[in-house]
Amino acid sequence: MSKPAAAVAAVGMMLLVGTSTAWGIQRIGLAVEAVSHPLVTVDDVSVELDLGPSGGGASGRLRAGSIRVGDRRAGPLTVHCGALRVTRGRVRCDRAAAHLAGEHGPPLELQGTITVDPGDRLLHAQLRIDGAGPPGTLRLQGTADGGTLEVSLPAIPLELLGRLEALAGWSLQGRASVDASITADAAGTIDGTVALALEEATVASGDGRMATEGLEATGLLRLRGDAAELRGMLSLHASAGLAYADPVLLDTGAHPVDLVATVLHRGGSTWLEKLHLQQPGLLQARGQARLNWQRAQPLQSARLQVDELALPAGYDTYLQPFLIGTVLDRVSVRGGIAGELSVRDGRADWFRLRADGVDLDDRRGRFAVAGLSGSLHWTRDSSAPPSRLRWQEGSIYRVAIGASELDFELTGDSLRLRQPLGVPVADGRLRLDHLEATGLGTEAFRATLEGRLEPVSLEALSRALEWPVLPGTLSGRIPRVTYREGRLDLDGVLEAEVFGGRVTVPRLRVNNPMGRVPQLQTDIRLRGLDLEQITGTYAFGRITGRLDGDVTGLELIDWEPVAFDARFYTPEDAPGSRRISQRAIENIADLGGDAGTALISGTFLRLFENFRYRRLGIRCRLRDDQCRMSGVHPAESGGYYLVQGTGVPRVDVIGYTREVDWPTLLQQLQAVTGLSATRAAP
């Protein structure tokens, strides 16, 4: 059928209706092979009218085999008229019922009233979908040269949209209102406006990756073009409710969303150009995007320029969801950042972030950074430009760190240090010569590092960690440390110089180091520590000589010891003077328990401030919060030597208590040392 066939067929049918009663005809049938228009094609059209006796009680039925709009196809369409009235050429259909099947999914059912006035070339309809909601209105006015379609559908229940193929499997609640006015000419040129309003929209996709709750939003779309290409303007405004697109959750009540863009629709794809996105107090962005609604992931490509992302709201909304499971998943952030994001084939392709004066503070107290500035570059596949971040100051577990700059490369799921990193730590310096990580943001995350700790004052370090104040310095090489599967392992021997001796850690493992309940397992070896430096730290008493020690099987849960075998002793072959003060003897005796005996008897011994000793030591095996105690040698009396004296006068300290409650032993240590920041005199 030719281009004006749609109008001709409709008018012809109306003329038959208008004249049939005069000829005494009770039933009329009309069949059309196809009705075509540049925008729509309808095949296999048939009309049947049953006028009843004397023109009363008429009914009718219209059927179309298929309806094609562009590359979309629906049908068959059946419209049944339960009560047909014809008055002076005007046709009114009451109890109208329409049934439209789609290619996929359940059919669309409508019922209501349809009125046709051939003289004014108007079709007026009041229709309901399955009888739900108030009736909508439809006005169609056309000639062979074109026509106008006006649609007003107030408060449509969103549940009914689940019948659309594109929304199959979605959970839908709430209401939608649509007002549209579309004009088409004989050449197929379209010019129209569509307004949409959502009320209390609570929807969720079948896979749970997209959802809204109580969403209040309005949209306006203006289009011009033809079936091949449409151009126009889109504006959206959301002012209440939640919107979720995995993994980002927007609270549009707290931060309303305004989006404006020019639109191009062609070949099944939609381009949003000159896009502007604004959320007052949160986000200012612009860019472009391409969507394909036939794909499982509609967003095919995008380029977004973020002019401002205000913190902390921007972190909570747009950054934190992508950082869950990393050390940055729970931080307080102040300041602002900007950047660019590119999406290709539905996935992030590259991004750049720029920070200026940002402050980070871990909510678990593990680290803090102030005055963070610089740029962060990431690419999915190709090599990324260098990333450089600077900070003014910070802390790690309350230990102060100074200003420094991190120079690294971030590509795919990998991070690599480009230049050695030197970080001031307390009054010393930590140098990282190697740092590399893979599997960022995945369960396969793995990282390795190597470096060196240049002399750090133990006094400054212990004050920061709220330990008893320790003298001397801490320094040493940091061998390769590996983190994988939530576990940190030492791949070599950690060495440090402290108290004039050497401390080595041949084995170290930390499970969940940045989690809520870290677990540490290690062995520690001490050799040649200066007892005078150690005892001079506490209100304990003066001891000279050297001290060795071995701590094996040390286990800490949430940094509290739960098991170890610790032995501290004076090596027999160590040179130098071995002297112990009376005060130190009394304090060691207290550690031996209630039966601990200081063999200082008679007033003449109290005249001596210091005594010589042969060896001293203590051992504790911790299990189930109980410490199994012993000393350097069994005593003939059945106890154990904590201090084995020598010379004249000789003083021995013997302990008798074998089992000590660990919290009680800690309290005794606090009592005899004072655990104060004030150095005790010898």
Q: Could you read off the pLDDT of 389-445 as tens digits, one per residue?
A: 999 999 988 888 999 999 999 998 899 999 999 999 988 899 999 999 988 767 788
Mean pLDDT of the chain: 82
**For the chain, what percent of residues have pLDDT higher than 90?**
34
Q: What angle do CA 209, 214, 215 make, to 5 degrees?
A: 75
* Local confidence band at 187 (pLDDT 50, 70, 90 cut-offs): confident
pLDDT value of position 594:
45
End-to-end CA, the chain: 114
221-235, 302-316, 495-509: which has the minimum mean pLDDT?
A: 495-509
The yes-or-no verdict on residue 476 having pLDDT over 90 is: no
pLDDT value of position 208:
85
pLDDT value of position 239:
94
pLDDT value of position 587:
83
510-549 exposure pattern, b = at least 16 Cβ within 10 A, e = fewer: bbeebeeebbbbbbbbbeebbbbbbbbbbbbbbbbbbbbb
* Local confidence band at 677 (pLDDT 50, 70, 90 cut-offs): very low
The yes-or-no verdict on residue 507 having pLDDT over 80 is: yes
* Local confidence band at 125 (pLDDT 50, 70, 90 cut-offs): low
244-258, 388-402, 536-550: which has the minimum mean pLDDT?
A: 536-550
pLDDT value of position 602:
45
The yes-or-no verdict on residue 289 having pLDDT over 90 is: yes
Identify the DSSP state of 632.
Answer: S
pLDDT value of position 666:
80
Name the region of 675 (left: φ>0; alpha: ψ -120 to 50; beta: rest): left
Q: Provide mean pLDDT across the span 622-647.
A: 89
pLDDT value of position 137:
64
Contact 265, 229 (CB under 8 A): yes
Name the region of 476 (left: φ>0; alpha: ψ -120 to 50; beta: rest): left
Nearest to 199 by CA among 236, 152, 239: 239
The yes-or-no verdict on residue 628 having pLDDT over 90 is: yes
The yes-or-no verdict on residue 78 having pLDDT over 70 is: yes
**Phi, psi angles (nearest 5°) of residue 161:** -70, -15
The yes-or-no verdict on residue 163 having pLDDT over 70 is: no
* Local confidence band at 386 (pLDDT 50, 70, 90 cut-offs): very high
Please tell me which of 79-83, 211-215, 289-293, 572-576 the model is most confident about, judged by mean pLDDT: 211-215
Q: Which residues contact 607 (CB under 8 A, 6 or more apart)?
A: none
Copy the structure tokens of residue 286.
């612009």
> For 581-621, how does the pLDDT look when each residue is reduced to its tens digit (9 = 90+)?
888 888 888 776 543 444 444 445 556 778 899 999 999 99
pLDDT value of position 75:
81
pLDDT value of position 678:
36
* Local confidence band at 24 (pLDDT 50, 70, 90 cut-offs): low
Q: Provide mean pLDDT across the span 334-347.
A: 89
Contact 284, 275 (CB under 8 A): no
**For the chain, what percent of residues have pLDDT higher than 70?**
83
